[in-house]
Amino acid sequence: MAKKISVISGQALSAGGQPVAGARVFFIGSPVPVPDVALLTDAAGRFSLTAPAPGAYRIGCNSDRFGSAAITVNVPEGQNVEVEIRVG
């Protein structure tokens, strides 16, 4: 049986709760090797990252305007996870 890929999706928000567009989101740490790339949040601050294995993922978020933040997300096998990152 093939492993199910999970998705970590979420939204980057400012300390005041406003969506942060154009923030860089990337993996800081993961249970398996992942590409060293960053993606940009959309106009609503939304993003999606592929989590190829279950476990704890450390996600970083940087915004030139609002600052940076990092969170740890636990991903169960084959389940998608929704998160919120507050920057600033």
Q: Cβ–Cβ contacts within 10 Å for residue 70, how many?
A: 14
**Residue 2 — very low, low, confident or very high, per pLDDT cuts 50/70/90?**
low
Q: How far is CA 47 from the centre of its chain?
A: 7
| pTM score | 0.92
pLDDT in tens, 29-87: 999 999 999 999 999 999 999 999 999 999 999 999 999 999 999 999 999 999 999 99
CA atoms of 82 and 31, how far apart (whole Å): 18
Instruction: Give me the domains of the chain, ranges plus CATH numbers.
Output: 6-87 (2.60.40.1120)
Q: In the block, which residue shows the tokens 């096998």?
A: 77
Query: What is the predicted pLDDT for the residue at 53?
Result: 94
**Residue 88 — very low, low, confident or very high, per pLDDT cuts 50/70/90?**
confident
